[in-house]
Amino acid sequence: MTKTMSIRMDEENYDFLKKLSNEEHGDVSKAVRELVNKGRLMLAVERYREGKASLGLAAELADLSLGEMINVLAEYGVRSHLETEDYLKGLENLRKAW
C-alpha cells in the first residue's frame, strides 16, 4: 500500500530533485522515493559500521534480506562484526533447528 505525503523543502533541494528527475526522465516523486531508498541503505551501512546496529537491524533498516545486506556491506568494504564464536553458535543453532 502506498501513502501520500506532503513535505516542505528549501528551493535548492527542490531544484536538485527537479534536475535529477529530468535527467532520469521521471517525476519528482520518483526521485524522492529513490533517494529515500538509497538513504535507508546508507543509514543501515553507517549504523552497522559504527556498531549501532546488528546485521539483522541493518537489513531491516535497508529493507533487505540478511544475505542481501551481507553483500551490500561487502560492496562498501564494511567488515563483519561477527566473531568466530558467534558464527559457531549460529551453526549450532542451525543444527538444532534441523
What is the tens place of the pLDDT at every residue in 57-80? 999 999 999 889 999 999 999 988
Rounded distance between C-alpha atoms, residue 61 and residue 13, angstroms: 24
pLDDT tens per residue, range 29-60: 988 999 999 999 999 999 999 999 988 999 99
* pTM (2 d.p.): 0.77
